[in-house]
Amino acid sequence: MKKNSLFILILLVFIGGNAKAQTINNVPIKDIENKYIEIVANFGRGTVMNSFTLDLGQTNRIFTARDLQLRDQNGMLLKFTSIVDLLNYFAKNGYELANTYTLAGNQYECHYVLKRNR
């Protein structure tokens, strides 16, 4: 019985120690302290999302485009099939949609403001 308990404990420590979350600039999504973030989605003709950028409201540091990419636990770039897929991803990570807007004359770009739920 003691051997089984010890094995399970070691296994849990090993798994827990190697678990990583999805990250932005190596910070897990759930650990981002910003109350609001913004997604700027770029669309081609129609409703297909070509790309997106994230605005975390950081004014004290210049981020490269690579810094603001969403990555999985293995460091691979996350891909989303649509803006709804991306919004659902953030909803699972504690954000809700607060506002959307477009800038006059730019029909291929839409801004989504998300608010932290905590």
**Taking all residues of the chain, what is their mean pLDDT, rounded to a whole number?**
73
Six-digit token string for 52: 């997106």
| CB atoms near residue 37 (< 10 Å) | 20
CA-closest candidate to residue 77, choices 23, 33, 19, 39: 23
pTM > 0.85: yes or no: no
Please give the pLDDT value at position 61: 54
Please give the pLDDT value at position 36: 92
Please give the pLDDT value at position 34: 84
54-69 average pLDDT score: 64
21 compared with 103, residue with greater pLDDT: 103
Q: How far apart, in whole angstroms, are the C-alpha atoms of residue 4 and residue 1?
A: 5
In the numeric block, the tokens 């709804």 are attached to: 84
Query: Does position 11 have pLDDT exceeding 60, yes or no?
Result: no
pLDDT digits 0-9 by tens, 74-96: 888 888 888 899 999 999 989 99
Q: How far apart, in whole angstroms, are the C-alpha atoms of residue 34 and residue 107?
A: 28
Domain boundaries defined on the chain: 21-116
Q: Which of 17-31, 67-81, 97-111 has the lowest mean pLDDT?
A: 17-31
